[in-house]
Amino acid sequence: MSILVVGSVALDRVETPFGVADGVLGGAASYFALTAALFDRVYMVAVVGTDFPQTYLDLFRQRNIDLEGLQILPGKTFRWTGRYHHDMNTRDTLDTQLNVFADFHPRIPENYLSADLVFLANILPTLQLEVVQQVPRAQLRVMDTMDLWIRETRAELETTIRHVDIVLMTEEEVRLFAGVPSLRLAVRAIHRLGPRWVIVKQGPYGALLFGADESFFAAPAYPLEEVRDPTGAGDAFAGGFIGYLSRLPADQWNSAAFKRALVYGNIMGSFVCEDFSVNRLLQVTPEDIAARYAEFRAFTHFDPDWR
Amino acid sequence: MSILVVGSVALDRVETPFGVADGVLGGAASYFALTAALFDRVYMVAVVGTDFPQTYLDLFRQRNIDLEGLQILPGKTFRWTGRYHHDMNTRDTLDTQLNVFADFHPRIPENYLSADLVFLANILPTLQLEVVQQVPRAQLRVMDTMDLWIRETRAELETTIRHVDIVLMTEEEVRLFAGVPSLRLAVRAIHRLGPRWVIVKQGPYGALLFGADESFFAAPAYPLEEVRDPTGAGDAFAGGFIGYLSRLPADQWNSAAFKRALVYGNIMGSFVCEDFSVNRLLQVTPEDIAARYAEFRAFTHFDPDWR
């Protein structure tokens, strides 16, 4: 099948207790696309400036990512600067220069309209809606969002949520959206708008999958020895989750398949944290992924007996 | 087998957004004993004042808990007052009156010396050491601790750690103890002192089990709809973990058994949160526990295939 992603492509400066990376490839669409492309063909809808390095364009192309929907506009590429705290989980945004991303208006090429799976990375809900409405044949529509849109464009966000199958949020975002501390009750507020699944991202604690049918699945995080740079982990998670599903016929997207997809999401999120920017993603092999999947089973499964 | 616990018995006042409970049974040894006694015989070493309600003494006795090691001294029982925040995870201690607990010196009755499993709940490390040295035939020694002892009695704490098989800490305590942000590396600092297993409690995210042989197991938390009062969850966890193992012959305490024990710990921790004080523990049946165990398997297990 094929996967369409709309979102940001950026040049990042990331500071961690372990080092600094400057001018490196970043943005939700970059992390997502480079991950999902390990599984299937990816169509990218995004914008960069004329300063965007040719090497990164070449990289996307080499990696099975179609760039017909990537606009290259006069001006500078979106730049983000962040600094991680000692715990490597919390971070401060030191600087954001939207540049050409400020007026981003997604443009969907004709041959993207056949995409089977769509990932609406974190952009303005109205733009997410515009995109998803142009891909009517999509069989799986997944959206991310952020606290800013929950606070400032609530009505638009709700409208977009009504048009997707799966909502991806951090646990803080779910609670903020619903206004209740119980995660389980908060998730129901999202299900009531229509999505069949809600995925709650818990950073270093893994991810939870809630079905509108009250089904539940929990996948802990992979126990990394060292987190070098967690930037993009949520988007790599989405890339693993959606990428895995795209390899299955849609009639096999049952509850068991969604569980496996959640684990693939966790796996890809864990790889990304092992190095700065997208570096680790460029090295990871199918064998690495399969080995980590086997490890996940070993450290989460236990025997049924009760004595 | 039989289980010895040394720790606090208290009268608590707990305030949550859902209500207030005052003068209710609390203390680590109470939560642990009432949980572990659902699995096996418990010997309690603790102290209360003459104001301690007879009904609670009767309750312990009815519940398979031996009180020969419970000192009843002139004065008042340890009193703790806490208030939970809206998220039901963080809390403030509003008042602590140690009373007779201030000069607590554990006294181990003769017939407790045959205990097979020992739980050193959170008390001064020197007292924990004193107890564990008096029960030389114990086949499993488990200790809890707290940030105060890590900061203020570091040397004594390390000595006690060298005398136990399993250390139970929150993830904040593990990081504080080792002084490194990586949980996996921090845990190794504890293993180097001798314990075969380290259990990292993660509150609403579940628990992790690290073996000195680098083995690893992760159990997420049960997704409660409502947390009414999380007080004692860590001690109920220990009660479920140790209680389960006490029902197995020691030669079956292998890695698979420890995984199952961790799940029973999580289950008992989840029950405790459903009501104030020990109330939920008094209602829970073996069928409730078995049902939740089956649920845990259903929401953590996934298929092996890679397509």
Would you list the domain boundaries of chain A?
Answer: 2-300
Calculate the CA B37 to chain-centre distance.
13
Whether residues B256 and A304 touch (CB distance < 8 A) is answered with no
Q: Nearest by CB to B181, from A87, A302, A304: name it.
A: A87
**B220 close to A (CB below 8 A):** yes
The pLDDT score that the predictor gives to residue A255 is: 94
* E strand intervals along A7-131: 10-16, 19-26, 41-49, 65-73, 78-84, 91-97, 117-120
Supply the pLDDT for residue A18.
83
Q: B2-144+232-300 is classed in which CATH architecture? A: 3-Layer(aba) Sandwich (3.40)
* Residue in B88, B185, B306 closest to A290 by CB: B306
> CB B247 to CB A300 under 8 A?
no
Closest listed residue to residue A268, CA positions, set A297, A241, A287: A241
Residue B127: enclosing H or E segment and its boundaries? helix B125-133
pLDDT of residue B202: 96
Alpha carbon of A49: minimum distance to chain B alpha carbons (Å) = 38
Closest approach of A105 to chain B, Cα-based (Å) = 36
Residue B227 touches partner A, C-beta closer than 8 Å: yes
Strands (E), B140-283: 140-143, 166-170, 197-201, 207-211, 216-219
Residue among B86, B217, B293 whose CB faces A181 most closely: B86
- Asked if the C-beta of B188 comes within 8 angstroms of chain A's C-beta atoms, the answer is no
Q: Where are the alpha helices (DSSP H) in chain A?
A: 28-36, 54-62, 125-133, 147-152, 154-161, 171-178, 183-191, 233-246, 255-272, 279-283, 286-300
Task: Give the whole-angstrom CA distance, residue A36 versus residue A106.
Answer: 20
Residue A22 CB neighbours (<10 A) = 11
Nearest CA among B39, B170, B28, B173 for reference residue B117: B39
User: Strands of B19-26's sheet, edge to edge?
Assistant: B19-26, B10-16, B78-84, B91-97
Q: How far apart are CA A109 and CA B232, in angstroms?
A: 58
DSSP state, residue A212? T
ipTM strictly over 0.85?
yes
Name the closest residue on chain B to residue A185, using Cα atoms. B225
Closest Cα in chain B to A246: B307
pLDDT tens for each residue of B129-187: 999 999 988 999 999 999 999 999 999 999 999 999 999 999 999 999 999 989 999 99
The per-residue pLDDT for range B36-63, each reduced to its tens digit, is 999 999 999 999 999 999 999 999 999 9
B248 Cβ under 8 Å from any chain A Cβ: yes
CA distance B165 to B150: 18
Asked if A226 lies within 8 A of B185 by C-beta distance, the reply is yes
Determine whether the interchain pair A247/B305 forms a contact, defined as Cβ–Cβ distance below 8 Å: no
Phi, psi of A137 (to 5 degrees): -85, -5
- Is B181 an interface residue toward A (CB < 8 Å)? yes
Return d(Cα B275, Cα B260) in angstroms, integer: 25
Helical pair B125-133 and B154-161, crossing angle rounded to 10 deg: 30
For residues B29 and B127, the answer to whether their CB atoms sit within 8 Å is no
Q: Is the dihedral of CA A132, A135, A141, A144 positive or negative?
A: negative
Report yes or no: B57 at the A interface, CB cutoff 8 Å: no
CB contacts of A289 in chain B (<8 Å) are: 306
User: What kind of fold does domain A2-300 have according to CATH?
Assistant: UDP-N-acetylmuramoyl-L-alanine:D-glutamate ligase (3.40.1190)
Q: Considering only CB atoms, which chain A residues are within 8 Å of B17?
A: 181
Q: Are A220 and A206 in contact (CB under 8 A)?
A: yes
CB contact under 8 A, B223 and A208: yes
Of B183, B248, B302, the CB nearest to A259: B302
pTM of the model: 0.95
Positions in chain B whose pLDDT score sits under 70: 306-307
Q: Please answer yes or no on whether A220 and B216 come within 8 Å at the CB atom.
A: no
The span from the CA of A137 to the CA of A132, in Å, is 10
| Phi, psi (degrees; rounded to nearest 5) at A139 | -100, -10
Using CB atoms, which residue from A216, A299, A301 is nearest to B301?
A301
Question: CA-CA distance, B238 to B120, in Å (whole number)?
Answer: 10
Taking the CA of residue B194 and the nearest CA in chain A, the distance in Å comes to: 21
The pLDDT score that the predictor gives to residue B90 is: 84
For chain A, the maximum distance between any two Cα atoms, rounded to a whole number of angstroms, is 70
Which of A205, A262, A302 is facing B263, going by the closest CB pair? A302
Q: What is the pLDDT of residue B87?
A: 77
pLDDT score for B89: 77
**β-sheet bridge partners, residue B92:** B83
Within chain A, which residues score under 70 in pLDDT?
306-307
CA separation, residue A52 to residues A26, A63, A235, B177, B274 (Å)? 11, 17, 21, 45, 54
